[in-house]
Amino acid sequence: MLEYGALFLSAVLVNNFVLTRFLGLCIFFGVSKSFDASAGMGVALTAVMTIASFLAWAMYNLVLAPLHLEFFTTICFVLIIASTVQLLDVITRRFLPTLHAMWGIYLMLIATNCIVLSVPLINVENGFALGKSLVHAVGAGVGFALALLLMASIRERLQYAKVPKAFEGLGIAFITAGLLSLAFLGFSGMIPM
Amino acid sequence: MTHTPQPGSLAAQVLEAEREPFRGSKQTTLRGLIADGIFSKNPVFVLALSLCPAVAVTSEVTTALAMGLAVVFVLTFSNLCTSLLRRFIHPKVRLPAYIAIIATLVTMTQLLMSAYFPDLYQALGVYLALVVVFAIILARAEVFASKNSPLPAAVDGFGMGLGFLLALVVTAAVRELFGVGRLAGYPVFGADYPPILMIVLAPGGFITIGLLIALFRVVGQWRERRRAGPTTDVPAPAATGEVSHA
């Protein structure tokens, strides 16, 4: 149990996917302009990632590894994620229209996102079993949501700040992310991984 | 919906596709395409696409160069293949088709690199596989290659890849030079340079790119003004770096 807790905390704080592993930056900088959008994105991404990790685990351990088709891993995982996103889109549209209205625009962004692809790949690389894979996926999602919400809160305030012209928009966003990442550096070494 | 399109999203790509025909005639030459990829549409500094590797693999020039070359290869050939197959791909399944093309090329790159450059392959780690989901590659396939003949498509991919490579190498050079006082492994400031770890670690990556984006923007505006100066009959085109404007 302790192992799972350590893995979760490590994915959320120590090896935060955005701020220490630099993944999902396109969404991180694109969506973090508003707090509400960030919250929606965080939830949608965690859901997709958990489902995709489960499917990817099954695919790799039941099909690819026994048949020695490891070189197909990347292609298969990308297609799994794309179909998961498509499936979620269809299902939520049919059965949960309110959720679909909330997620709609984010789902398509998630289909080609590096975090969603990297979590299953890292799971495979480390040989995680099913339980660990899922904990890792949820942890990565929570870590991403945390970073996104922190960033969104700061950027909402930044709108009222006087930023030098050359730094407006993306430039200052990167500097802000750098400072956030500096704060997260404080967690490093807390959990050996 | 008053939602500003996210960089790399389909909406942003469509917007860019609509802007494309209004660009000057200079852009249609093959040389113009390459210059576009490097300067006015630099994938990292201007379009703000595919940022993850720009921060992740740029603590050393060598890994940045390897990543850049991999992207040049994948981008050139994915554009070429997309363009060759553009009449056979049904519009409804075009995105999965592009993804399949890109994933195949990335897998080839992975196998080649792990066979001939195992050290680099180790250093790039999971980021090499993530080339599959680079927004810039999918965006070029969708916006350019699917509408143009093979030669301009391949040249466009090459130019964009080159712009990406240069962005990575410049960032890596700054970080390696000031972080550990070396350039591609060779000491520049002498062996007793005290390393500034912050620049090599995560925060330095973000801050360096933030500074470079600002620098790129200043230089871009200066070029634009200088070009617009003598020929006043042409209204200055809107800067292409609109992605982050909102």
- Please list, in sequence order, all residues whose beta carbon lies within 8 angstroms of the beta carbon of residue B41, skipping any fewer than 6 positions away: B47, B160, B163, B240
What is the pLDDT at residue B73?
Answer: 92
Do residue B6 and residue A26 have CB atoms under 8 angstroms apart? yes
* The pLDDT of residue A190 is above 80: no
* Mean pLDDT for the stretch of residues B23-52: 67
pLDDT tens per residue across span B72-124: 999 899 999 988 888 888 877 777 788 888 888 998 998 899 899 888 888 88
Which residue in B has a C-alpha nearest to residue A163's C-alpha? Answer: B214
- Gyration radius of chain A over CA positions: 17
> Nearest-CA distance from A1 to chain B in Å?
28
Q: Of chain A residues 90-119, which have a CB less than 8 A from chain B? A: 105, 108-109, 112-114, 117-118
* Mean pLDDT for the stretch of residues A106-122: 80
What is the pLDDT at residue A32?
Answer: 80
* Mean pLDDT for the stretch of residues A114-134: 86
pLDDT tens per residue across span A38-84: 888 888 888 888 998 999 999 888 888 888 887 888 888 888 888 88
Establish if A22 touches chain B: CB-CB under 8 angstroms: yes
- Cα distance from N-terminal residue to C-terminal residue, chain A: 16
pLDDT tens per residue across span B179-223: 877 777 777 777 777 778 788 888 888 888 888 888 888 887 887
Do residue A71 and residue B107 have CB atoms under 8 angstroms apart? yes
> Nearest-CA distance from A36 to chain B in Å?
12
* The pLDDT of residue A113 is above 80: no
* Mean pLDDT for the stretch of residues A19-29: 81
Q: Can you read off the two tokens belonging to residue B201?
A: 């670690």
Partner residue opposite A109 with nearest CB, options B9, B95, B218:
B9
Indicate the domain borders of chain B: 30-228
CB-CB contact of A85 with A48 (8 Å): yes
* Mean pLDDT for the stretch of residues B144-158: 85
* Mean pLDDT for the stretch of residues B128-134: 83
- Please list, in sequence order, all residues whose beta carbon lies within 8 angstroms of the beta carbon of residue B25, skipping any fewer than 6 positions away: none
Establish if B236 touches chain A: CB-CB under 8 angstroms: no
Q: For the purposes of burial, counting CB atoms within 10 Å of the CB of B17, is it exposed (0-12), middle (13-18) or buried (19 or more)?
A: middle
Establish if A20 touches chain B: CB-CB under 8 angstroms: yes
Which residue in B has a C-alpha nearest to residue A125's C-alpha? Answer: B126
Q: Can you read off the two tokens belonging to residue A118?
A: 């990297």
Per the confidence metrics, is the pTM higher than 0.80? no
What is the pLDDT at residue A191?
Answer: 67
* The pLDDT of residue B158 is above 60: yes
DSSP string covering A79-132, please?
Answer: HHHHHHHHHHHHHHHHH-HHHHHHHHHHHHHHHT-HHHHHHHHHHHHHT--HHH
pLDDT tens per residue across span A134-175: 998 999 999 999 998 998 898 888 888 888 888 887 888 888
* The pLDDT of residue B235 is above 60: no
Do residue B103 and residue A74 have CB atoms under 8 angstroms apart? yes
* The pLDDT of residue B23 is above 50: no
CB-CB contact of B181 with B195 (8 Å): yes
pLDDT exceeding 90 applies to what percent of chain B?
Answer: 4
Measured between alpha carbons, how far is residue A37 from residues A27, A147, B50 in Å? 11, 13, 21
- Count other C-beta atoms under 10 Å from residue B87's C-beta: 7
Do residue B55 and residue A19 have CB atoms under 8 angstroms apart? no
What is the pLDDT at residue B19?
Answer: 47
Partner residue opposite B103 with nearest CB, options A75, A167, A170:
A75
* The pLDDT of residue B43 is above 70: yes
Do residue A31 and residue B214 have CB atoms under 8 angstroms apart? no
Any idea which of A26-40, B33-47, B149-163 has the lowest mean pLDDT? B33-47
What is the pLDDT at residue B4?
Answer: 46
Q: Of chain A residues 26-85, which have a CB less than 8 A from chain B? A: 26-27, 29-31, 33, 71-75, 78-79, 82
What is the pLDDT at residue B229?
Answer: 66
* Mean pLDDT for the stretch of residues A130-137: 89
Q: What are phi and psi of A177, to 5 degrees?
A: -60, -40
Angle at A66 (CA atoms; ends A65, A68), nearest 5 degrees = 60
CB-CB contact of B134 with B7 (8 Å): no
